[in-house]
Amino acid sequence: MVLRPDLQVIAQWIPQGSKVLDLGCGEGELLAWLQRNKACHGYGAEIDHDNVMACLGKGVNVIQTNIDAGLSLFSKNAFDIVVLSQALQATHETEMVLKEMRQLGKRCVVSIPNFGHWSHIVSLAKGRMPVNKRLPYQWYDTPNHHFATTQDFERLLAMLGFTVHQHAYLAEGRNGTMVEVKQWPTLRCTLALYSFQ
């Protein structure tokens, strides 16, 4: 199984044998990979029934729950790493989710799509909301509630008292792979990843 690019970076950041909570875990790809390759264990939290069934099929421990409703079913400080990959923008209670992540684990890892990418700015300048392979929905049917730039998200983390220990800014390369962006990340990256506590 090949992980999508942001999950590859996240997997590199997770130490061998860690206890991991993956919020909005989708079909459980990250946890399944971590179990096989890094002897990690833990749980996924997912709202979609079909995704929950896919997790179970991969041998991933998963709980069907809405993370916006709170995470009190998990014990405080029970995890080494709490992951939320490409799902924060779909939450209603964003600050609450981030604060609860801090209570559940020693370290948090979040990836977000970057709404500040230059192609989105061009779409807005032309009078249209961006629609592309990264943001495939129309404005009226999107599951996303919040659109943030890298700077917006970094300011929110600072406001909430988090300290960022690692970050990565990724963009599509010419051959379809993801490459790391070193300069002008807010304009050039399509995906931003953060490890913080």
Q: Give Cβ neighbours of residue 52 (< 8 Å, ≥ 6 apart).
A: 46, 62, 64
2-7, Cβ contacts within 8 angstroms, sequence gap of 24 or more? 3/29, 3/30, 3/33, 4/29, 5/170, 5/177, 5/178, 5/191, 6/85, 6/86, 6/111, 6/170, 6/178, 6/191, 6/193, 7/33, 7/85
pTM: 0.89
Query: In this predicted structure, what is the pLDDT of residue 49?
Result: 97
**What CATH number corresponds to the domain at position 101?**
3.40.50.150
Domain ranges, residue 26: 5-196
pLDDT tens for each residue of 76-119: 999 999 999 988 888 888 999 999 999 999 999 999 999 888 88
Q: Please give the mean pLDDT across all residues of the chain.
A: 90
Query: In this predicted structure, what is the pLDDT of residue 134?
Result: 67
What total number of domains does the chain contain? 1
pLDDT tens digits for the chain (197 residues)? 789 889 999 999 999 999 999 999 999 999 999 999 999 999 999 999 999 999 999 999 999 999 988 899 999 999 999 999 988 888 888 999 999 999 999 999 999 999 888 887 787 788 877 777 767 766 676 665 678 899 999 999 999 999 999 999 999 877 778 889 999 988 999 999 999 99
Cα dihedral across residues 60, 66, 67, 72: positive or negative: negative
